Amino acid sequence: MSIRERLSGNEAAATAMKQINPDVVAAFPITPSTEIPQYFSTFVANGTVDTEFVAVESEHSAMSACIGAEAAGSRAMTATSANGLSLMWEMIYIASSLRLPIVLSLVNRAVSGPLNIHCDHSDAMGVRDSGWIMLFSETNQEAYDNTLMAHRIAEHKDVRLPLMVCQDGFITSHAIENIELVEDDKVKEFVGEYKPDHYLLNKQEPIAVGPLDLQAYLFEHKAQQAIAMKNAKQVILDVAKDFEKMTGRSYGLLEEYRLEDAEIAIVCMNSTAGTTKFVVDQLREKGIKAGLLKIRVFRPFPVEEVTKALSHLKAIAILDRADSLNASGGALFEDVTSAMYVNHVHVPAVNYIYGIGGRDTKTDDIESVFHDLLTIMKNHKIDNPYRYLGLRRKEGDQ
């Protein structure tokens, strides 16, 4: 029987960590993720978990400590946001290249500068090619569920890659929602024990971790990382099936909302999907065939699945909560359009940069995007594929 609770997204992530009871948690506070290690530290202090909690002097040190713990054979977790993730940047790449299945709760926030502590996805997009599996969470429930599934995915013998669970700063991290928790004993059984094949403290097999890797080997090692990322797609689906058997909650690589008979659709990630669903329902009542494609798994990117889901549409809008500053669209837009191109599918597509620095994205904004798509569908023409949503100034102003 599930346990009904009311928790913020940060509390949900910390509760999942408590139930997992990792060997090591190393963390340094940064808004809006601070509450996750703060809540978890109380579980350590009152003896609810027997985790070794390491209060470090920086986020670089937090990831370094997690790397050391995982290399020694321990299960390690941490949490951060924005500039904290930026300070980890060197160690983020090292963690994935060493094939260490660390789990990180990333509470998405704008990366400075100028200084801003509110939500956008510039932190996650900054490390999208670092070799980490990336799950995005629309709700507090998804943040909790994704965290419970994370170790099963990351530690799988065909994967062995670090994984970050993303949720929107303040929008979900600090908002309280109804949530269904899994019983502690079921979580323990589902997650299982961490039993790495190779680790530093195994005296029967002395190994080195992080050696110099020159021309003769590095290329092959990077190719192995790429294969592991491809393998992760099926592992994510397999773990989700087991999770559904335990909870009744179903997860895929993406979510198709009223998309089967849709003519126009929005593609987005995280909490904006909830706002979009509301607008889709309203438009459906008016006879407009609108739909939503929510990307849950951003890395590995579900190329075939995205293409199949969008192939029958007449116009699509891809929403990016971060600007790649490349004059040709955001990261999600590039991945979606690339996926369709290589699979010989052409659907008129437009990109909207939105929600930067926590700018509110309201139902009126989402509805305006759908009306733009209706115009594109009618005229068979896109005047400008690179747009901004909710920008107060003219797009050309400097």
pLDDT at 346: 96
Residue 396 above 70 pLDDT?
no
Q: Rounded CA gap, 271 and 292, in Å?
A: 13
pLDDT at 314: 98
- Once rounded to an integer, what is the mean pLDDT over residues 215-238? 98
Residue 395 above 90 pLDDT?
no
The domain 254-389: what is its CATH number?
3.40.50.920
What six digits make up the tokens of 202?
């195994």
Cβ burial, residue 10 (10 Å; 0-12/13-18/19+): buried
Identify residue 183 by its one-letter amino acid code: E
Residue 385 above 90 pLDDT?
yes
Which uninterrupted H or E stretch holds 272?
Answer: helix 272-285
Using an 8 Å Cβ cutoff, are 76 and 69 in contact?
yes
- Check for a shared fold between 3-247 and 254-389: yes
CB atoms within 10 A of CB 18: 19
Q: Rounded CA gap, 246 and 260, in Å?
A: 28
Q: Quickly state the pLDDT bin for 397 (edges 50, 70, 90).
A: low
**Which range, of 201-210, 253-262, 296-305, 314-323, averages the lowest pLDDT?**
201-210
Statement: the pTM of the whole predicted model exceeds 0.85: yes
Q: Quickly state the pLDDT bin for 398 (edges 50, 70, 90).
A: low
Distance between the two ends of the chain, CA-based, in angstroms?
57
- Once rounded to an integer, what is the mean pLDDT over residues 333-343? 98
pLDDT at 2: 84
The pLDDT tens digits for 275-331 are 999 999 999 999 999 999 999 999 999 999 999 999 999 999 999 999 999 999 999
The domain 3-247: what is its CATH number?
3.40.50.970
Domain borders along the chain are 3-247, 254-389
Phi then psi for residue 17, to 5 deg, are: -60, -40
- Once rounded to an integer, what is the mean pLDDT over residues 149-172? 98
- Once rounded to an integer, what is the mean pLDDT over residues 352-362? 98
Q: Quickly state the pLDDT bin for 207 (edges 50, 70, 90).
A: very high
Q: Rounded CA gap, 231 and 223, in Å?
A: 12
Percent of the chain with pLDDT over 90: 97
pLDDT at 393: 75
Instruction: Give whole-number Cα distances, 374 to 105, 265, 282, 371, in Å.
Output: 38, 10, 15, 5
Q: How does the average pLDDT of the chain come out, rounded?
A: 97
The pLDDT tens digits for 14-48 are 999 999 999 999 999 999 999 999 999 999 999 99
